[in-house]
Each structure stands twice: as structure tokens, then as C-alpha cells.
Amino acid sequence: MPVAELLGIVRVVKRERLPIDRLWQTSEQGRLARVSRQQFETYYTNQESGIGVWVGGAELFPSPIALPRLRQNWGPRWQPPQQIQQLSTEQALLIRRNLIAHTN
């Protein structure tokens, strides 16, 4: 299992499906995604296109929120995706409340 912690939040600005060579160019040759050409090519092996996700408003939490704590709010069977999930306004507010309670 990965670390299983919520580290922060971002606001998705745009998503775009692009041919692989154009996605590489648009990512400023991997600088925006912080990946090497080899990592990029390995990830997109045998793919004709990929989806670029541009984000803004990144906020790294002062301390991560562990999965068991998230499940206290959203139920014991709640399973987060491996990387990105769109949160409802209510879920975002619960996370902020937990952060405030956790840091005080």
C-alpha cells in the first residue's frame, strides 16, 4: 500500500487530451510534470494520446491526513483513488476543519 495520506489539495484548471508528442511539448519537455523523458515515454508506451491536467492553487497541508482519519468522516469503506479525486464542497470543508483541529 502507498503511504495512504492526503498531502494537500489543488484546483484543476484544465484537462486536455493531446497526441503524445504534443503532450510532451506542452508539458515543457516534462518540466511542468517534473518527469524525465524516459519516465514520460515509459508511462505512455503504446499510447497515441494522453491527458494533461493543469493545476493551480496548490496547497500543501502542514501535516498529512491519514486514511483512517478520512474514513472517520466518509465511512470505513471509503477508498481514495491513487492520485487525484474531485472533492465535493462538503468534503473540502471537512478536510479544512480536520486540519484546523489537527494543528491546534
Q: How far is residue 89 from each of residues 25, 27, 36, 96, measured CA to CA in Å?
A: 34, 29, 35, 11
- At residue 47, does pLDDT exceed 90? yes
How big is the CA angle at 84 (ends 19 and 65), to the nearest 5 degrees?
A: 155
Q: pLDDT tens digits for 53-101?
A: 888 888 888 988 888 888 888 888 887 766 566 677 888 788 777 666 6
pTM score, whole prediction: 0.56
- At residue 23, does pLDDT exceed 90? yes
